[in-house]
Structure 1
Amino acid sequence: MIDRATRWPEAVPVSEITAQTVAKVFVTTWISRFGCPATISTDQGRQFESDLFISLNKLLGIKKIRTTSYHPQANGMIERWHRTMKSAIIARGNSTQWSTELPIVLLGLRAAIRADDNVSPAQMLYGTNIRIPGVFFEPKKLDKSPESYTSDLIRAMENATPLKCDHHGKHRSYIHPDMASCDYVFVRTDAVKKPLTPPYEGPYRVLEKQTKFYKLEVKNKTAVISVDRLKPAFILRNDEVYDPLTCVKNETAPSEITSKPGQMKSMDKNASATKTRSGRIVRPVVRFAL
């Protein structure tokens, strides 16, 4: 767990990730210390989508936002912090008993100065530094007296404003231009799949379009999918026929359409015959229309 404003992290080792265990840890670790948050963001784990966790949020007056599937960028702050925490545990050199190293690792991460705003999560939360082992300090940084340092820190905290990250959200995935007008889309499968498995599933019907996600009808259920995993699907309606030479849609050719689905009817071989400069008569390959 991590606070989006101060970036104060909490991590609790558990033996199972059932809904009851996760809800209990959330209450005893976060809510008992900092109170009820207004909004929380989670992934689509079954423990977060359970009736128990939803009822807990309603009881505490918490609005829950869930990310789209296979899209960790939607909750990038905690996903990126996982890498930092794992690197710190590895640096301790006791990966087999990592749960015993976790409190010291959290102490160091909470007191670490961030490069973007030059403050630590502890300073953002408490307004002052937390006391840590002396080996963490550098003597050249202790020139100022504690009184002046505290005054400067309080003044800086009073004038603190949210930082504007210029690099955040600059990376944009390619989105097909026809996504705005399509009624059906294919969904990319980002899960681990067997060899020779198609990379996309579908097509699925679009129910609602948003800037960052689409609501789709997937197997008679509503699914929210990020636009980064979608591409448009072009489906031929029953009243449409495409010319085999020009690939232009022709909706005024009812004679080429059969009334029974699955029945094939061949197109006229002489309808599109052309004459070359040498005088030869060239006929296109025989095509069939549904």
Structure 2
Amino acid sequence: MALKWEDVPLASSNTTLLCDTNTGHPRLLVPASRRKQVFDIVHGPSHPSGCTTAPLMTNKFVWHGINKDVRQWARSCIPARWISHFRVPDSITTDRGPAFLSELWVSLARLMGTTVHSTMAYNPAANGMVERVHRSLKAALMARCTNERTTTYSPPALHSCAYVFIRVDASRLPLTKPYRGPHRVIRRAAKAYLLDIHGREDWITIDRLEPTNAGSGAAQETHRANLRCRFHPTPTVLQEQGPTPTASASA
């Protein structure tokens, strides 16, 4: 179809716009730098498919290859692909994060006609499906990052001390010691130490070790006593002061 170009004046000013009038109403010729912007204005509110967006665009605008550009942009639009495949959700279940409790999120859900449900506080099982996906996602990320070397901080005294403490990573009762030891260092490696643990030799990663200045013999026993006082302080009992008893003279 041949195009008929005319300069169409604007009603509010003396400016004219180059338009195609072959269809009976003017269609604006859009320069290349503004075409994507015009597409976003027309396509953005409801994200229709490319076949639906193309007639909306060609009814008011024109340029060479407009149908091809519109269909390509519509296919690459992420919100349009999501809504066209899965539709708007009927309900959404979220945790109680600030982003999901904000007025913006509630207003957006109300605009889409979606019901928002919040889980109970500190109860991740209420949204178990999402938590299970998060578990698989974290495992996949950890598997991808296994080749990356990480740097672990260790106290400088750890490389020269004769005795070390071992952090207790198991579940502990309240007011129990977070470390056990001290244990004698037999051999050192880059990431683990061979320790003498009550007569048994075992390799322990340095991430769980803390240095101590305790030596052998009496120094070690003193350090153990200090640890007992540190983690199990002796309670102080206050007694009422009374008259000082005096020894009675023997008859």
TM-score when scaled to structure 2? Answer: 0.29
TM-score when scaled to structure 1? Answer: 0.25
Higher helix share: 2
Q: Between Structure 1 and Structure 2, whose CA radius of gyration is higher? A: 2
